[in-house]
A and B are shown apart, each in its own frame.
Chain A
Amino acid sequence: MIEVRNLTKNFNGLTAVDHVSFDVKKGEVFGLLGPNGAGKTTTIRMLSTLTRPTEGKATVGGHDIVKDDNEVRKLIGLVSEKIIMYDRLTAKENLWFFGRLYNIPKEVLDKSIDELLALVQLSDWKDSQVGTFSSGMRQRMNVIRALLNMPEVLFLDEPTLGLDPQSSVEVREFVRKINRENKTTIIITTHMMIEADMLCDRIGIIDHGKIVALDTSTNLKKLVSGADTTILGLEIANLTTNMIASIQSLKCVNSLSQDNSTHIKVHANGDETFDTIIDAIRAEKGKINSVENLEPTLEDVFLHITGREVRDNADQKIPLREHRHFMPRRRVR
């Protein structure tokens, strides 16, 4: 469905996307996972014809994204990071407007608007202005807007950014449903590991504009556990810094991270690591409340591949532009 070959984008000498290549099969959910600024959005914008690539080429449904951009546009739907809705128009008017842009016949459009609104439980709100909606409702509107033209390929750019957990779950379930029922090919970007893990058939991990790993979630995790790594989650009632230091000094321990005052997570290599670690804690008179043998998460995969942690606290982008409003206005005389 989608073929990407050496796609590159430079912004004033800065390479946002660096010779990226991948394929997406029809009906697949493909995830682009990476921290903010890794080049996910730029990749999506290029594939949805909003930005021209500097180098390389890509096709969507067999159409070149530069030469046949209008053909590509007919096939795709885009859910961007920003809500593409006019606050002063009602839910129905918004959908009507965007639907008409795709030249959908009036009767068909009328029907599909009603269906889509019902699908996301917004039928009661169809005559309310979108500006009055909560962010969860707006995001649901944003998603169904992209579905008006029955796209074969749906691009979702951080669809759960800034949503509360419940709304996030709703959006994710909806995305799965679309994929299952309409056989829509979906490309989703996210910086959240859980999201990618839950939704995607295959995941491309992107960092600094390059795809550093591309496989199914299970296979990506095997990259970590295949190297006979054990990940232990330990809850120790009387955790001390001495205890942590003595665990870290063990030969088999790769890394250790502390979650809170009693909980630690240990990555270790080799045989009999379990006993070694438990012994070390006992030696420091630690009281172990619980021990978990953890499955590697995509978090661990990212760490394993890039050697860095995903900056997961960057859930919302820092609103730099807003700062200007606080500056005192100069008085014009």
Chain B
Amino acid sequence: MVAWKDLMELFRNKLGLIMLVLMPIFMMSMVGFIYPSDTSISVSVALVNEDEGYSNYTSASATFIMALEKLNNSTGMMAITDASSLDEVRDMIQRGDVEGGIVIASNFTSSLMSGKQGTITIVTDQSNPQMSTLLQTALKEVFEQMGTWLAQQNVQGLSPAVNASNSLAIVKPYSVQTEGAVPGHFSYFDFIAPGIMAMTVMMSVMTGLPAAVSHEREVGTLDGMMVAPINRLAIILGKTLAQTARGLLQGTLILILAVALFGVTIHGSILLVFALLLLGVFSFVGLGVVITSFAKDQETAMMLMMTLMFPMMFLSGVFFPIQQMPWYMQGVSKFLPLTYASTALRKVMVLGADIPAITTELTILIVFGIVMTAVALPVFKRAMTR
């Protein structure tokens, strides 16, 4: 009954309903687009070829540029502009026309021809560390390929036993290739969608419950329920049910959005995803009830929730992988149930994991849920009969 009433109220609240739909969209697009995924951007780079050649022979720099363009064509990583000098490149960076520059020194070919090292300077924009890192990585790869190619030529020249097919193996005996556990292309959305889903559903229980109860307490309608001969737990249970339904609705919306708009693919079973969300709700209900019992008015409830929500959001690996955090922060995140919920969900959605693969997370969530509920019930009963 209480759940029915709460849901009716929710659906009557037009603005609230719109916000309910908009919130996950904002969430997804915001965090999804703020963080660059490697392929989606292109760095504009200025190229300066100062190479004077070696007795009218400029092939070394030409080969380099060719290799650079070849790599660029396959990845679309850079937009290359021509420039005349290092100073011009600096100017362009300052004006914001380009984000980096490559300068081939005037003695590039001559040094190479005379058996010395050829110098190439990378000019980076220090005001944008992320871009400059990206540029350095990209160019390093080009140089690596160039170097390999040159070495191959040199080795071939040294020994007649070496031919084109095995020269690469001599210069670079190891070949490293990366492959994901699951085939397919992954973007930041794949990483973030499960986390946001877990977060939204669980937050709706943790924040929605205290907000709803303390609001009713303030308005006075809670007395109407309290004065009726029904079990006190039925009230909180009904409220939880309504909030869970709301949370799941939002979670489903995020899922649909993630798949439809952001091209996220789900590798595990959808049923398991929902089961996990429900389990997450269970583990959070206790916490929600405890906050409900302590917060006497809505404002206090809000403050309490905010204090708990922010660390949870950032420390549970929803936005950033936990492994990137310093050890003490990782320690904190180990105590947050959201960490396990989002990890488990990610494993299922991204890696297609089944139940045995997420036993640890499941156990922790269940235990946390039971402990919190055990704490919450007596606290709630006492709070309700003040």
* A115 → B minimal CB distance (Å): 20
Known: A78-B223, A101-B228, A102-B229. 10 other contacts (CB 8 A): A51-B386, A76-B227, A85-B221, A88-B8, A89-B8, A89-B9, A93-B8, A98-B228, A101-B225, A102-B228
- A76-102 with Cβ < 8 A to chain B: 76-78, 80-86, 88-89, 93, 97-98, 100-102
- Partner of B223 from the list A52, A70, A80, A97 (CB cut-off 8 Å) is A80
Q: Which residues does chain B contribute within 8 Å of A84, judged by CB atoms?
A: 220-221, 223-224
Q: Is B185 an interface residue (CB 8 A)?
A: no
A148, B225: Cα distance in complex, Å: 13
B8 touches A101 (CB 8 A): no
Is B226's CB within 8 Å of the partner chain A?
yes
B385 at the interface (CB under 8 A from A): yes
Q: How far is the CB of A53 from chain B (nearest CB, A)?
A: 11
Contact of A86 among B221, B228, B229, B386 (CB under 8 A): B221
Contact string against A for B residues 211-228, beta-carbon threshold 8 Å, 1 for contact and 0 otherwise: 000000001110111111
Instruction: Tell me how far the C-beta of B1 lies from the nearest C-beta in chain A, rounded to whole angstroms.
Output: 5
Which residue of chain A lies nearest to B227 when distances are taken between CB atoms in the complex?
A: A78
Q: When each residue 1-15 of chain B gets 1 if its CB lies under 8 Å from chain A and 0 otherwise, what string results?
A: 100110011001100
The docked-state distance in angstroms from the alpha carbon of A78 to that of B225 is 11
* Nearest CB in chain B to that of A98: its residue: B224
Chain A residues within CB distance 8 Å of chain B = 48-52, 70-71, 73-74, 76-78, 80-86, 88-89, 93, 97-98, 100-103, 129, 145, 149, 324
**Contact A73 B9, CB 8 Å, known A50-B223, A82-B223, A101-B1:** no
Complexed CA–CA distance, A80 and B217 (Å): 13
How far is it, in angstroms, between the C-alpha of A88 and the C-alpha of B8 when the chains are bound? 8
Instruction: List 11 interface pairs A-B (beta carbons < 8 Å), by A numbering.
Output: A50-B226, A51-B386, A73-B227, A76-B227, A84-B220, A88-B13, A93-B5, A98-B224, A101-B228, A145-B224, A149-B228
Which residue of B is nearest A89, CB measured? B8
Find out whether the CB atom of A83 lies under 8 angstroms from the CB atom of B227.
no
Give B84-126 interface residues, CB cut-off 8 Å to A: none
Q: Assess whether B230 is interfacial by the CB under 8 Å rule.
A: yes
Q: A83-B220, A86-B221 are in contact. Are A49 and B5 (CB under 8 A)?
A: no
A49, A86, A145, A324: the one contacting B9 at CB < 8 Å is A86
Which residues of A lie under 8 Å from residue B225 when comparing CB positions? 101
Chain B residues with CB under 8 Å of A51's CB are: 385-386
Contacts of B219 in A (CB 8 A): 82
| Complexed CA–CA distance, A129 and B11 (Å) | 13
Report the nearest A residue to B385, measured CB to CB.
A52
Q: Give the distance in Å from the alpha carbon of A98 to the alpha carbon of B222 in the complex.
A: 11
Q: Which of chain A's residues have a CB closer than 8 A to the CB of B9?
A: 86, 88-89
Q: Which one, B1, B12, B228, B385, contacts A129 given CB within 8 A?
A: B12
Q: Check A100/B1 contact, CB under 8 A, given A52-B386, A82-B223, A85-B221.
A: yes
Q: Nearest B residue to A83 by beta-carbon distance?
A: B220
Q: Known contacts A52-B385, A89-B8, A97-B5; is A81 also within 8 Å of B227 by CB?
A: no
* A70:B220 contact, CB within 8 angstroms: no
Q: Which 7 A-B pairs have the closest CB atoms?
A: A82-B220, A84-B224, A88-B12, A101-B228, A73-B229, A78-B227, A74-B229
Which of A51, A52, A82, A102 has the largest count of B CB atoms less than 10 A from its CB?
A: A82
Residues on A with C-beta less than 8 A from B5 are 86, 89, 93, 97
Shortest beta-carbon distance from A45 to chain B in Å: 8
In whole angstroms, what is the CA distance A48 to B220 when docked?
14
Q: Note all chain B residues with C-beta closer than 8 A to A82.
A: 219-221, 223
Residues of chain B contacted by A324 (CB below 8 angstroms)? 299
